[in-house]
Amino acid sequence: MLDINLFRTNPDLIRENIKKKFQDAKLPLVDRVIELDKKLREARSEADGLRNQRNVKSKEIGALMGQGKIAEAEAVKASVNQINAQLETLKEIEDSLAADLKKPMMLIPNIIEVSVPIGRDDSENVEIEKFGEPVTPDFEIPYHIDIMERLNGVDLDSARKIAGNGFYYLKGDVARLHSAILSYARDFMIDRGFTYCVPPFMIRGSVVAGVMSFDEMEDMIYKIEGEDLYLIGTSEHSMIGKFIDNLLDPKDLPQALTSYSPCFRKEVGAHGVEERGVYRVHQFEKQEMIVVCLPEDSENWFTKLYSNTVDFFRTLDIPVRTLECCSGDLADLKVKSIDVEAWSPRRKRYFEAGSCSNLGDAQARRLGIRVRGEKGNYFAHTLNNTVVAPPRMLIAFLENNLCADDSVRIPEPLRMYMGGKDKIVG
């Protein structure tokens, strides 16, 4: 949600930003916001005028009573009561206008950074840098489910029977590998100075509306029927919600947190879930990074966050690249985003393994996360980034560490979490 002052002073900037995101259908919302804001300010101005009148008349009542002019005082009291009735009516009008104003403001996208490439969708994202040499072995790399099945490590059929497509059972050493990757990611981030958290896995609707756009909400979030609770799609949702309505002292910032959670997603839309695979599913686990910081520090934190993911993957000998998301691929609250993509030897191309986002003050503005300032309080900036998200990481790991004899090599950093094993065999 943008600052209302921007609509008053530079609405053309907002319109241009909407066009850059190829959301021209939202252009009329700018005029709607300006119109409703004008009406709301007029109602508030009228109410302020009435309150001033009431104050004058209240003093007049006291003076008349002191002079023994009871009848005149009662007449003034009657006019004060009339003003109070008018104020009550105006309060209802103000509340209604404020609610109507918030609706279009919540739909208008955040102002993207000037460095963001302009493009309609993810096909126009821009590669930034590659890390590690992509290797394609001289033997065939099977589909990831086939690798898992050869290792007796997955059961999709049973999961489909009890929950449907988009769910899976992991078993044996593959399940252990899944947990090992998450444990290593946790310790990796702790070693980098982040505070480890395990958050609530359900959040209230007010938090959902604060951390994501309505389009994302519709396509991603599962609601608990009959309750004001939603299953989180990522731990970012509850971790940012942790700071709702907080007034933070600058000396307590940045808050650099790393959180573990299961994630639940509808995966509605063009991609959908996979019938035979674990790349796009309804349930998975993830280690996340979350930062709440001063506005002037968010750009530096953005670079630190995605660099952490690159470094993590490289410690496991997985080649990656960074890709800057174009304007049309950015969710509405984001000002800038970079995807970290892992190399797939089977497909001979990279695929998304994590995403780093700077949301500016968008989430803070919606959730009331402020910083105490000498010249007035102001909104914090929030950022998030994926450390690792099995099972996608499992796909990259298995393909890049598969040996010709169908065993899977375990890199040194994971061995302590795998009981000392240096490979997995079927």
> In this predicted structure, what is the pLDDT of residue 217?
78
- Average pLDDT score over the chain: 94
> In this predicted structure, what is the pLDDT of residue 293?
98
Compute how many other C-beta atoms are within 10 angstroms of the C-beta atom of residue 56.
Answer: 11
Contact 235, 199 (CB under 8 A): yes
Ramachandran region of residue 175, left (φ > 0), alpha (ψ -120 to 50) or beta? alpha
Residue (of 95, 65, 66, 98) closest to 80 by Cα position? 65
**Phi, psi torsion values for 378, nearest 5 degrees:** -145, 170
> In this predicted structure, what is the pLDDT of residue 1?
87
Ranges of H-type helices in 67-140: 70-107
Beta pairing, strands 370-371 & 378-379: antiparallel
Tokens of 155: 């059961």
Q: Is the pLDDT of residue 270 over 70?
A: no
Compute how many other C-beta atoms are within 10 angstroms of the C-beta atom of residue 376.
Answer: 7
E strands, 116-274, in order:
126-131, 154-155, 169-170, 195-197, 202-203, 222-223, 230-231, 247-248, 255-264
Pairwise CA distance, residues 42 & 36, whole Å: 10
Q: Is the pLDDT of residue 426 over 70?
A: yes
> In this predicted structure, what is the pLDDT of residue 391?
87
Beta pairing, strands 247-248 & 370-371: parallel
Residue (of 293, 323, 421) closest to 116 by Cα position? 323
Give the confidence band of 244 by pLDDT, cuts at 50, 70, 90. very high
Sequence-distant (6+) residues with CB within 8 A of 283 are 166, 167, 262, 263, 264, 265
Domains with residue ranges and CATH for the chain: 4-107 (1.10.287.40), 122-424 (3.30.930.10)
Contact 289, 196 (CB under 8 A): no
What is the value of pTM for the model shown? 0.91
Convert the pLDDT of each residue in 23-76 to its tens digit. 999 999 999 999 999 999 999 999 999 999 999 998 998 888 888 888 988 898
Contact 352, 324 (CB under 8 A): no
> In this predicted structure, what is the pLDDT of residue 4?
96
> In this predicted structure, what is the pLDDT of residue 216?
76
- Strand-pairing partners, residue 293, are 381
Contact 76, 91 (CB under 8 A): no
Instruction: Find the Cα–Cα–Cα–Cα dihedral 214, 216, 217, 218, rounded to 10°.
Output: 90
